[in-house]
Amino acid sequence: MNLIDTLERRFGRYAIPGLGRIIVAFNALVFVLGKFNPAMLDLLRMDPFAIRHGQLWRLVTYIFIPDTQEYLWILFVLWFLWMLVEGLEQAWGAFRFNLYYLLGMIGTTAAAFFFGAEFSNTILNLSLLFAFAWFYPDVQISLYLILPIRIKWVAWFTGALLLYSLVTKPMAMRMAIVAALVNYLIFFGPAILAKARHRHRVTGRRRQFQEASLSEEEPLHRCAVCHRSELDSPDLEFRVARDGNDYCMEHLPKPSGRSANRSTS
């Protein structure tokens, strides 16, 4: 039993069922309220300086700020977020989804406080995307409401962008991205390593099998003159001459004196 199993056994009863739906509902509410009073969004954002001065609600309220303030996109954003959280809660159950989201919040907060990252809940939502793609890689969505694409390719493309940021951005930003994805690393890191080790073992066994297959196809005898072997013709007979080479009967050197070749066919 791993640590997550132990935590679920001890604290599972405290999980909030339907937490994902609550998050989506508050995202919709904040979008509407933000249209009436845009300044309100600034009171909800992750701001380490303001938190240090007593505005502790920001540790939670930033997760309710939607990724867009455009009327055209908000329905897609809310639907996509709903799909992610519903799928993950069905795959994990309430406790594990709660824990995954909480760890993501802790990582995002650490990224903001220690590395000055200002991506708010963006990476947190991306961690939901990566987890969803792990469980449902072949689910299709309509990119830009037109182009059908599997969710795994969306996750791979997004992951490539993050990898590019890890290579090109300053060290502080690199550490911030890793911190914000700590939930994904904790939940899926061991499985990813196990799959990599399994793939390595399978590749090694396949290589050994291929090498063994090739060795089985090597002939036991090959004529030193015509280079034919028993693989070319099963009816061929071979002898080993005094010079140590194999010869078919047609090209076997004539014995001299009392010497004679011994059959080793």
Same domain, residue pair 128 and 245? no
Contact 148, 142 (CB under 8 A): yes
Same domain, residue pair 189 and 227? no
Per-residue pLDDT tens over the stretch 65-93: 998 888 888 998 999 999 999 999 999 99
Measured CA to CA in angstroms, residue 171 lies from 48, 106, 165, 248 at distances of 20, 20, 10, 71
CATH code of the domain covering residue 78: 1.20.1540
Greatest CA separation found in the chain?
114
Q: Is residue 202 part of a domain?
A: no
255 band by pLDDT with thresholds 50, 70 and 90: low
Q: Is residue 224 part of a domain?
A: yes
Same domain, residue pair 48 and 127? yes
Which residues, other chains included, contact 209 with Cβ-Cβ below 8 Å and sequence gap of 6+?
Answer: none
Same domain, residue pair 229 and 111? no
Q: Which of 45-59, 214-228, 231-245 has the highest mean pLDDT?
A: 45-59
Q: What is the reported pLDDT for 258?
A: 46
Is the pLDDT confidence value at 31 over 90? Answer: yes
Percent of the chain clearing pLDDT 70 (strictly above)? 91
Q: Which H/E stretch holds residue 10?
A: helix 3-11
Q: What is the reported pLDDT for 216?
A: 54
Same domain, residue pair 184 and 225? no
Copy the structure tokens of residue 169: 């951005």
Q: Is residue 125 part of a domain?
A: yes
Same domain, residue pair 124 and 244? no
Same domain, residue pair 191 and 230? no
Same domain, residue pair 126 and 15? yes
218 band by pLDDT with thresholds 50, 70 and 90: low
260 band by pLDDT with thresholds 50, 70 and 90: very low
Helices 19-36 + 94-115 axis angle, to 10: 50
214 band by pLDDT with thresholds 50, 70 and 90: low
Residue 213 vs residue 194, higher pLDDT: 194
Same domain, residue pair 116 and 238? no
Q: Is residue 71 part of a domain?
A: yes
Domain count, the chain: 2
Q: Is residue 79 part of a domain?
A: yes
Instruction: Indicate the pTM of the whole model.
Output: 0.74
Q: What is the reported pLDDT for 193?
A: 87
Q: Which amino acid is at 174?
A: R
Q: Is residue 263 part of a domain?
A: no
Q: What is the reported pLDDT for 261?
A: 43
Same domain, residue pair 147 and 248? no
Please state the rounded mean pLDDT for residues 105-112: 89
Is the pLDDT confidence value at 259 over 50? Answer: no
Q: Is residue 260 part of a domain?
A: no
Contact 88, 125 (CB under 8 A): no
Contact 125, 162 (CB under 8 A): no
Is the pLDDT confidence value at 25 over 50? Answer: yes
Domain ranges, residue 33 = 3-197
Q: What is the reported pLDDT for 265?
A: 42
